[in-house]
Chain A
Amino acid sequence: EVQLVESGGGLVQPGGSLRLSCAVYGFTFRTYWMSWVRQAPGKGLEWVANIKADGTEEYYVDSVKGRFTVSRDNAKNSLYLQMNSLRAEDTAVYYCARDVLVGFWSGYSDTWGQGTLVTVSS
């Protein structure tokens, strides 16, 4: 069964750091682009970042550029999101998602984890 399991969320002070993890099961992780998508409380979905299957390319929404870093360990079937200089507006449930290739590029997300809550507050 294809499964994505996020962990690492919690309460952090503004300016602090947090590292999210996503463990994947049931598919060949090293062949898929992967994304992080977040959802602030009571709000809609916002794409945050994605990373190519081999880890050689990564992309970010402008609001997190320079603060967040997406990475992966294909040997450990794991995806990560390192979040630094956190702000109150980063408070959200963070989902990892598996992306389907459209042509040579990442497209839509066909499988999602259950999410992990990050709260940035003093």
Chain B
Amino acid sequence: EIVMTQSPATLSVSPGQRATLSCRASRSISSNLAWYQQKPGQAPRLLIYAASSRATGIPARFSGSGSGTDFNLTISSLQSDDLAVYYCQHYHNWPPFTFGPGTNVDIK
């Protein structure tokens, strides 16, 4: 089973500042990585797939990078609406698909 880890667990960022979230896989997953945003009380929403491709309707301030074992999600200019937990998930050599434990982004 591929284990996904995320850091930091919590990130406090001022509006307008950059936020960088990290995700690491226990072994290479090529670019088979997705990022999801989950706002309080809501279902997850797909942000990024194939490590760096933005999903339909996702603002350009969200970007993904990385391949192999190390990945980043960057929010270039944080807005108050970005308060959420962000999860990474691999889809390489499943089952199982596994998610990281999440990074909680709050607004400073």
For chain B, the bracket of interface size reads: 20 to 34
Beta-carbon contacts of B61-96 to A below 8 Å, as 1s and 0s? Answer: 000000000000000000000000101010100111
- Does more than half of chain B's interface fall in helix, strand or loop, or is it mixed? loop
Judge whether B101 and A61 touch: CB under 8 Å. no
The complex places the Cα of A89 from the Cα of B96 at a distance, in Å, of 18
In the complex, which residues of chain B have a beta carbon less than 8 angstroms from the beta carbon of A111?
Answer: 46
Judge whether B95 and A59 touch: CB under 8 Å. yes
Judge whether A44 and B44 touch: CB under 8 Å. no
The complex places the Cα of A64 from the Cα of B38 at a distance, in Å, of 24
Judge whether A44 and B45 touch: CB under 8 Å. no
Q: Does B34 contact A (CB under 8 A)?
A: yes
Judge whether A110 and B95 touch: CB under 8 Å. no
Beta-carbon contacts of A22-52 to B below 8 Å, as 1s and 0s? Answer: 0000000000000101000000111100100
Judge whether B45 and A108 touch: CB under 8 Å. no
Judge whether B43 and A113 touch: CB under 8 Å. yes
Cβ-defined partner of B102 (8 Å) among A44, A60, A95 = A44
Chain B residues close to A by CB (< 8 Å) = 32, 34, 36, 38, 42-46, 49, 55, 85, 87, 89, 91, 94-102
Chain A residues close to B by CB (< 8 Å) = 35, 37, 44-47, 50, 59-62, 95, 100, 102, 105-115
